[in-house]
Amino acid sequence: MTLPRDYSGQTCALARSMEIVGERWTLLIVRDAFYGVRRFGEFAGHLSVPRAVLTDRLATLTAAGVLDRRPDTGRREFYALTGKGVALWPAVRALTSWGDLFYPGPGGGPRRVFRHVGDEAPVGEDGRCSGCGEAVPVADLLVTPGPGLAAPGPDADPVSRALARPHRLLTPLLPSTVSTTRKAEQR
Amino acid sequence: MTLPRDYSGQTCALARSMEIVGERWTLLIVRDAFYGVRRFGEFAGHLSVPRAVLTDRLATLTAAGVLDRRPDTGRREFYALTGKGVALWPAVRALTSWGDLFYPGPGGGPRRVFRHVGDEAPVGEDGRCSGCGEAVPVADLLVTPGPGLAAPGPDADPVSRALARPHRLLTPLLPSTVSTTRKAEQR
């Protein structure tokens, strides 16, 4: 892609963002990272993204400083959002809300409701808690199932099943000792 | 693109959004529509997008109900954001702010500053006016040049030149009687 002509104009800010997060799957990967998805197999299982594409997107996000690759148990690695990555939350939130509003799930209403970890009141799209009025930092958000979410079936992937319960953003969703493929399926 | 497996999950809301606005150029076109760009030639001149791609993206956005195609003077047509399109503002704003923050323009700071049309005070990323504290509707926002914006050169396109001055969002940026190609260049 050639960038728009006016590199120095406003075009550039959005164009640069889209250069990084505008590729297919990329923003879904970032969204999953907010939910605490950390390992290659977890992303692959949840998103059903081809593994070569996932490898490419994780490399792009790591090179851009959105994700950080860190050593895990044994010889494994995991991915975590950097500060630059966490700064994408308003964009992820806004695009998710728009999708929920105009393409609602089977039950109607949002598929996920974000709540303040302190009082569990829903947090509005302006990022403020509807209970206490505070501007809630991303790390103090709970992702909880909403009315538009269909319950995951028995053969759902481990990430979908874990997200059927409230979970604090940016904390690991699945235990590091459980393989996300076979072992999790056998529980 | 096949959508992620869990259609009924949260994945779906963001995936659906990205199905529509995740294609290259699409969100830049939507952004320009917020700035009052309305005609094919104006989008083409400002974004330097290949005309076949622009035709495709405008058709996608019109079919999705994000843009509405309306009769203009003579046999021409123009495009305007629908309510569904205007609802994309938080996403456009968030991605633009992220780009400005991590890929600042040559002068540093944001390329565009959004101000409240009432008191011209800057409007924060939470959509509230820093002067009066009000939540500012999109139609009451002014887009104004910011410190990170390089002044458009003499051969800049008409849209870039018009955006060197404050302009109210969702109002036409260029007069309908001026051809955006030749006549505007000759002024």
Indicate if A145 and A98 belong to the same structural domain.
Answer: yes
B129-163 burial code (b ≥16 CB/10 A, e <16): beeeeeebebebbbbbbbebbbebeeebbbbbbbb
- List CB contacts (< 8 A) between A6 and chain B: 46, 152, 156-157, 160
CB contact under 8 A, B12 and A98: no
Pairing status of strand A112-116 against strand A77-81:
unpaired
The maximal CA–CA distance of chain A, rounded, in angstroms, is: 55
Token pair 């996000």 in the structure block, residue: A61
CATH number of the domain encompassing residue A60: 1.10.10.10
Distance, CA of B16 to CA of B14 (rounded, Å): 5
Distance, CA of A93 to CA of A127 (rounded, Å): 9
Nearest neighbour of A28 by CB, restricted to B4, B103, B112:
B4
Structure ipTM: 0.88
Per-residue confidence of chain A (187 residues) as pLDDT tens digits? Answer: 444 433 334 457 898 898 888 888 999 999 999 999 999 999 999 998 899 999 999 999 999 999 999 998 888 899 999 999 999 999 999 999 999 999 988 778 899 999 999 899 999 988 999 999 999 999 999 999 999 888 888 889 999 999 999 999 999 999 875 444 444 444 4
Identify whether the C-beta of residue B145 lies closer than 8 Å to the C-beta of residue B112: yes
Indicate if A101 and A168 belong to the same structural domain.
Answer: yes
Nearest neighbour of A99 by CB, restricted to B14, B28, B152:
B14
Distance, CA of A4 to CA of B45 (rounded, Å): 10
Distance, CA of A119 to CA of A99 (rounded, Å): 26
- List CB contacts (< 8 A) between A34 and chain B: none
The pTM score is 0.89
Domain range for B78 is 10-85
Indicate if A125 and A53 belong to the same structural domain.
Answer: no
Q: Is the pLDDT of residue B40 over 50?
A: yes
CB contact under 8 A, A103 and B13: yes
CB contact under 8 A, A111 and B12: yes
Indicate if B114 and B140 belong to the same structural domain.
Answer: yes
Indicate if B112 and B155 belong to the same structural domain.
Answer: yes
Please state, in angstroms and as integers, the Cα–Cα distance from residue A59 to each residue in A13, A42, A66, B70, following that order.
22, 16, 10, 43
Indicate if A153 and A137 belong to the same structural domain.
Answer: yes
| Of the residues A85, A118, A150, the one at which a domain ends | A85
Shortest CA gap A74–chain B (Å)? 30
Identify whether the C-beta of residue A45 lies closer than 8 Å to the C-beta of residue A159: yes
Indicate if B67 and B100 belong to the same structural domain.
Answer: no
Q: Does B67 touch chain A (CB under 8 A)?
A: no
| Of the residues A85, A113, A134, the one at which a domain ends | A85
A56 inside domain: yes
The model's pLDDT over B113-126, given as tens digits with 9 standing for 90+, comes to 999 998 999 999 88
Q: What pLDDT is stored for residue A177 in this prediction?
A: 55
Q: Does A152 touch chain B (CB under 8 A)?
A: yes
Size of interface A-B (CB pairs under 8 A): 191
Nearest neighbour of A90 by CB, restricted to B11, B94, B156:
B94
